[in-house]
């Protein structure tokens, strides 16, 4: 049903998969001239122009997935996303500012030098050029339906990779299929990035525990094929989910051995990855804190404050 369009990105993950069916485009790519030119060429191969695109579906609010959507909306397309994704894509600079305001203090409390924390949280400003804000015309919630080329897609919410993630499920000749964004990837274990509280003063989402639960629920849905946001389709969804969960459990066990006394998240990150460059430390902290969250939820570690720092200890 869907044709996969490989759209270039400036990010380490490489090209993003946009998906086209009829006049519906899913995750059209980042806002760059290179990506736009590639998208135009892909549409032209199918005897379409940007003016022919009637709706754009966004799986999650990361620049490589939604950035160019505003160009299609300016030509008449409707944009559809979850309510949480809408709050981000309609004002991406404000979202980035909210993250920066939170994570400088958070990383310092985790044991990172404040100057380093400021550098790490300022690096994503480079993404702004690829993430032009776009208005959303319709909010999608779990259970909603979207008609694409006379086929009904069912919307479901997933957790783990980004705020407001959605998947789109449908019946195809080969069985039950879902467009899953970056929630499940064929040969990459998605990093559940740390997220700030939805509102200032609120609680930080425990992303990795939520991701594990979401994956387990997704596995029970018995899909036959996943169409992911990067690289190749996934022909054995249950097997791939099992592999990701195993990797998570192995890393959680490794983090448990590191926490043999009062240990900061930064110390966990350094034990796991060594001397990471600043460009990789947000990912590193996301993994360290995520597995500490899992251990805390399983009541294997406890968290307390010591000298202005957050430390974890085994129970």
Identify the H or E element spanning 173: none
Answer whether residue 200 shows pLDDT above 90: no
Burial class (CB within 10 angstroms; exposed 0-12, middle 13-18, buried 19+) of 295:
buried
Residue 191: predicted pLDDT: 79
DSSP, res 72: H
What is the residue extent of each domain of the chain?
3-253
Q: Tell me which residue has tokens 């900061």.
A: 264
What DSSP assignment string belongs to 93-146? Answer: HHHHHHHHHHHHHHHHHTT--HHHHHHHHHGGGGGGGG------SEE--TT-EE
Residue 61: predicted pLDDT: 97
pTM above 0.75, yes or no: yes
Residues 141, 207: Cα–Cα separation, whole Å: 20
Rounded to whole angstroms, what are the CA distances from 300 to 235, 296, 312?
36, 6, 10
Indicate the average pLDDT of the chain.
Answer: 96
Residue 151: strand pairing partners: 148
pLDDT confidence bin for 257, thresholds 50/70/90: very high
Residue 173: predicted pLDDT: 85
Q: What is the pLDDT of residues 213-256, one digit of tens each?
A: 999 999 999 999 999 999 999 999 999 999 999 999 999 999 99
Q: What is the pLDDT of residues 277-286, one digit of tens each?
A: 999 999 999 9
Answer whether residue 16 shows pLDDT above 80: yes
Q: ∠ at Cα 68 (37, 284), nearest 5°?
A: 110
Q: What architecture is the 3-253 domain classified under in CATH? A: 4-Layer Sandwich (3.60)
């Amino acid at each position: 049903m869907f044709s996969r369009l490989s759209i270039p990105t400036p990010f380490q993950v490489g090209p993003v998969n946009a998906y086209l069916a009829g006049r519906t485009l899913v995750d059209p790519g980042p806002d760059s001239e290179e990506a736009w030119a590639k998208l135009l060429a892909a549409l032209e191969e199918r005897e379409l122009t940007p003016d022919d695109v009637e709706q754009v579906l966004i799986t999650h609010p990361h620049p490589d997935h939604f950035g160019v959507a505003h160009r299609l909306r300016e030509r008449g397309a409707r944009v559809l996303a979850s309510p949480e994704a809408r709050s981000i894509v309609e004002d991406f600079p404000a979202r980035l500012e909210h993250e920066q305001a939170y994570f400088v203090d958070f990383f310092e409390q985790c044991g990172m030098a404040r100057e380093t924390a400021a550098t790490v949280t300022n690096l994503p400003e480079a993404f702004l050029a690829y993430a032009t804000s776009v208005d959303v015309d319709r909010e999608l919630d779990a259970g909603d339906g979207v008609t694409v080329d006379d086929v009904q897609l069912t919307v479901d919410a997933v957790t783990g990779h980004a705020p407001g993630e959605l998947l789109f499920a449908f019946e195809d000749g080969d069985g039950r299929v879902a467009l899953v964004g970056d929630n499940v990837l064929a040969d990459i274990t998605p990093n559940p990035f740390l997220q700030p509280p939805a509102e200032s003063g609120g609680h930080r989402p425990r992303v990795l525990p939520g991701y594990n639960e979401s994956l387990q629920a997704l596995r029970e849905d018995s899909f036959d094929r996943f169409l992911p946001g990067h690289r190749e389709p996934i022909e054995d969804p249950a097997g791939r989910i099992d592999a990701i969960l195993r990797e998570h459990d192995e890393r959680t066990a490794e983090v448990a051995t590191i926490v043999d006394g009062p240990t900061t998240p930064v110390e966990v990150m350094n034990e796991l990855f060594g001397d990471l460059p600043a460009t990789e430390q947000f990912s590193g902290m996301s993994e360290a804190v995520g597995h500490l969250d899992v251990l805390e939820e399983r009541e294997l570690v406890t968290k307390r404050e010591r000298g202005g720092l957050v430390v974890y200890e085994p129970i």
